[in-house]
Amino acid sequence: MPPGLVALALGGFGIGLTEFLIAGLLPQVASDFAVSEAVAGRLISGYALSVAVGAIVLTAATARLSRKRVLVALVALFVVGNLLSAVAPDYRVMMLGRIVAALCHGSFFGIGSLVARSLVAPERKSRAVAVMFAGLTLANVLGVPFGALVGERWGWRSAFWAVTAIGVLALAGIVALVPAWAGQVPPTDLRTQLRAFRSWQVWLTLTATALGYGGMFGAFSYLAYTFTEVGGFSAADVAWLLMVYGVGLVVGNVIGGRAADRDRDRALLLALLGLTVTLAAFGLLAANAPASVVLVFLLGLTGFAAVPGMITRVTDHAHRAALAAGANVSASNVGNALGAWLGGLALSAGLGYRAPLFVGAGIVAVSFVVMAVAAYTNRPR
């Protein structure tokens, strides 16, 4: 494993922690700043929207720069954002810190995936991307409990100080371990970058990404209610059940990277089909506690198994244009928002706490069809 990949994974871990740990700190933040929990919750939605914007804007603005230098600047921005959150005297500065940290998120994973794949042989590119994303998946497992534990013992600000320190370590690692040539391509202007979007394969892959993420996240957003209201679990059980889901993400990331290097389109179709079946089965068996434990693990596994392959697929068809890599991250966040919205509509319609699972299965089924069209039209004639 090239040491530069370890530095990228550490950066991904820190960025992932920033995204997820706030969920376990909201009560303390709301109390400290004298705002309602609903207002404090905007620190999550504001972050997500900033990720979608930053992934496009910053990637486009830095298209002509060295990718290593861009990564260094992005991680530095991440450190500044978390430092602002750690010292924030009021809610507005806290939100500013969240937005600054979020702006680097999409571009880091988009550009970082191009750098990661350049550090290994072409036949291992999806596995290299999976290694970089391993940090994000581990953060998904550890983020909420980490934030809750550190915040309970030393206060919520200490959690952001810890993430700031991780960012500094990642910054030093990228400076020292990522070669200057990694991921480098001839300088391109914005018009050249936009030409990548003339490919239907790019658009089909972005659509499949958005729908695949949307189906999974639409179900995930309401899993706590499904566990407690349908499965009979206690509220205290939700934390370890979500950790089981996170372990599934880690396993799916590894399996998906290896499978995509063997036969990418087949691996993506199998992952999306598996996710569709898992969501539908979960909806049917949500009242069965043992089945729910198995299915939440499979939800994480099948949900993330497509990620490495989707990223390498869109960047291959975009001729490694950094803007397309950033667009892939934006597509996933747009999908997250769409899935959560549709799942919420199903709940508002009185369809019950199983409904988001079935809605998610339907969305992913459409993603499977889109991916099947992409794979069929991409076959050699």
Q: What per-residue confidence (pLDDT) applies to 24? A: 65
Q: What per-residue confidence (pLDDT) applies to 38? A: 62
The Cα angle at residue 160 between residues 100 and 92, in degrees rounded to 5: 50
Residue 378 is given by DSSP the state: T
Helix axes 67-87 and 91-118, enclosed angle (nearest 10): 160
Taking the mean position of all CA atoms in its chain, how far away is CA 234?
28
Q: What per-residue confidence (pLDDT) applies to 186? A: 59
Determine the Cα–Cα distance for residues 336 and 216; give it in Å rounded to an integer: 8
- Average pLDDT by consecutive 10-residue portion of the chain (381 residues)? 83 84 73 75 75 78 79 90 90 89 83 81 78 78 69 81 91 85 62 76 90 84 81 79 84 86 89 94 91 92 87 80 75 78 82 88 94 87 64
Q: What per-residue confidence (pLDDT) applies to 364? A: 93
What is the total residue count of the chain? 381
Residue 231 is given by DSSP the state: S
Residue 79 to residues 75, 76, 287, Cα–Cα distance (Å): 6, 5, 44
Determine the Cα–Cα distance for residues 46 and 36; give it in Å rounded to an integer: 16
Residue 179 is given by DSSP the state: -
Q: What per-residue confidence (pLDDT) applies to 53? A: 80
